[in-house]
Amino acid sequence: MARIAVVAGDGIGPEVVAEARKVVDAVLPGVEVTEYDLGAARYHRTGEVLPDSVLDELAGHDAILLGAVGDPTVPPGVLERGLLLKLRFAFDQYVNLRPSRLWPGVTSPLAAVKPGEVDLVVVREGTEGLYAGAGGSLHRGTPAEIATEESLNTRHGVERVIRDAFARAARRERRKVTLVHKTNVLTHAGSLWSRTFDAVAAEHPDIATEYQHVDAAAMFLVTQPQRYDVVVTDNLFGDILTDIAAAVTGGIGLAASGSINPDGAYPSMFEPVHGSAPDIAGRGVADPVAAVLSAALLLDQLGHADAAARITAAVSAELAARSPEVTVRTAEVGDRIAAQAAG
């Protein structure tokens, strides 16, 4: 049976993760869970963000389910870089998967978009680009200061994530992959991305392809999100585009994500896109749907496609039945989805 590490984290993290676990238990009893108390509290207690010993222990699991980390009392970036990005890089989670669906019952901020019409997935590169941490500064704090940030891209890294995007498109109905970059300005990386894209596309004559500059894609996600199926892009563009995609499909409160090592050499990590939302923590009103959908992605990744599909269907039913006037009750939502998914 699957061995899962759970990092509930800060703020609403523990609340939404509890519901995700409830739902997993309902569809797949017997999953073995180990809890890790990473996040703001541990940082304050011990000064540590992610000790090497914990990193080693996490590596021994099949997957990681994370709630949310972050708290106003922790300097910005400490947990993001020390925990989230550290895990993505240490575990070579090169596929950062972010599906966006406009579920029945959910209203898009876009007037012309109806539920069911948007169903896209962004395959964001997770281990390269401007996230590599390459850069520096000189003459800091003086008028002569310069600061640099370097985007590092390898054929190895670009090709594997593009292959993953095509493999996903091949399993979907519309079979279309959109490459997003900024080849007219970022000519070196852009050339590597588009040549690699073309080479992989040539092996998939049955999959439709298109290219868009990132500024155009940001615009079309607002005016015509229906047009996308699978989008593949670099780490930073993916960061921005997935928040737009989440916004047009009902907000980050519903958005799930996976940081995936498809080779299985390391555990993949699944987490809601929303943050720890300290303002509503502890009140039992956080929406657990994004965490539940993240757990579904996790099960799917571990080969439990049926269990994942049952969760997804139960979420869909839950959202369709929701009335916008009624406040979400975290535990009740979890109970309903669990009951429905267990069937």
The single residue among 3, 25, 59, 80 that binds ligand IPM, judged by CB under 6 A, is 80
Query: Shortest distance, CB of residue 236 to ligand IPM, whole angstroms?
Result: 8
Q: State yes or no: residue 184 binds ligand IPM (CB under 6 A).
A: yes
131 is catalytic: yes
Mark whether 92 is an active-site residue: no
Q: Find, among 50, 31, 39, 47, the residue nearest to 14 by Cα.
A: 39
Alpha-carbon distance values, 59 to 126, 131, 160 (Å): 18, 22, 21
Evaluate whether 59 touches 3 at the Cβ level (below 8 Å).
Answer: no
Question: Burial code of 104-113, b = ≥16 C-beta within 10 A, e = fewer?
Answer: ebbebebeeb
Residue identified by tokens 């809601």 is 272
Distances (CA, A) of 104 to 97, 109, 114: 22, 14, 8
83 binds its own copies (CB under 8 A): no
Q: Does 239 bind ligand IPM (CB under 6 A)?
A: yes
Verify whether residue 239 is a known catalytic residue.
yes
Residue 97 backbone phi and psi in degrees, to 5: -95, 125
The footprint of ligand IPM on residues 305-334 (CB under 6 A) is none
C-beta closer to ligand IPM: residue 79 or 341 = 79
Please confirm, yes or no, whether 306 is among the known catalytic residues. Answer: no
* Of 238, 340, 325, the residue nearest 289 (C-alpha): 340
Contact map string, positions 36 to 75, toward its own copies, x by CB under 8 A: ----------------------------------------
Cα-based distances in Å from 299 to 58, 65, 217, 292, 341: 17, 10, 31, 11, 13
Torsion, Cα 28 263 124 319, to 10 degrees, reads -10
Q: Does 269 bind ligand IPM (CB under 6 A)?
A: no
97 binds, among its own copies, ligand IPM, none (CB under 5 to 8 A by kind): none
In the bound complex, what is the minimum distance in angstroms from residue 213's beta carbon to its own copies? Answer: 9
In terms of CB distance, is 246 or 281 closer to its own copies?
Answer: 246
Q: Binding string to its own copies for residues 87 to 116, with x set by CB under 8 A, is what?
A: --------------------xxxxxx----
| Burial of 280 from C-beta contacts in 10 A (0-12 / 13-18 / 19+) | middle
Instruction: Please state the closest distance from residue 9 (CB atom) to ligand IPM, in A.
Output: 12
Instruction: Give the Cα separation of 340 and 67 in Å (integer).
Output: 22
Q: How far is the CB of 233 from ligand IPM (least distance, A)?
A: 13
Residues 6+ apart with CB under 8 A from 221: 228, 241, 244, 245, 248
Q: Give me the residues that bind its own copies (CB under 8 A), please.
A: 76-77, 80-81, 85, 107-112, 130-131, 135-137, 139-156, 182-189, 191-192, 195, 214-216, 218-219, 222-223, 236, 239-244, 246-248, 251-252
Q: Give me the residues that bind ligand IPM (CB under 6 A), please.
A: 80, 84-85, 184-185, 215, 239
